């Protein structure tokens, strides 16, 4: 398993937190997430993500399903930052 951190902005933090889309999309792939909210910026959020492999994560994120889930969740894709465990 690899651990990665993801930061991005969303349109509505409450909607993003309550959304089932992360679990629906990532769960079947064996990917788990923990959510975080930036207390200084009302629309900045983060995730700690456990992935079986970076290849699987990258393939999943390039799929139409990922794009649909991000759109539903109000993720602003241009703000996405991914940090890998060193």
**CA distances in angstroms from 37 to 18, 41, 56, 67, listed in the order given:** 13, 8, 26, 21
pLDDT at 23: 94
Residue 79's pLDDT is 97
Contacts of 40 (CB under 8 A, 6+ apart): none
Half-sphere exposure of 54 (CA within 13 A, CB side): 9
pLDDT of residue 42: 84
Q: What is the pLDDT along the chain (86 residues), one digit of tens a residue?
A: 999 999 999 999 999 999 999 999 999 999 999 999 999 878 999 999 999 999 999 999 999 999 999 999 999 999 999 999 87
- The pTM assigned to this predicted structure is 0.89
């Amino acid at each position: 398993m690899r651990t990665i951190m993801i930061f991005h902005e969303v349109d509505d933090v409450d909607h993003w937190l309550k959304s089932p889309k992360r679990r629906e999309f990532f769960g079947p792939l064996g990917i788990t997430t923990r959510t975080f909210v930036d207390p200084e910026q009302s629309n900045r959020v983060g995730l700690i993500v456990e992935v079986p492999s970076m290849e699987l994560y990258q393939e999943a994120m390039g799929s139409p399903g990922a794009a649909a889930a991000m759109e539903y969740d109000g993720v602003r894709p241009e703000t996405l930052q991914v940090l890998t465990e060193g």
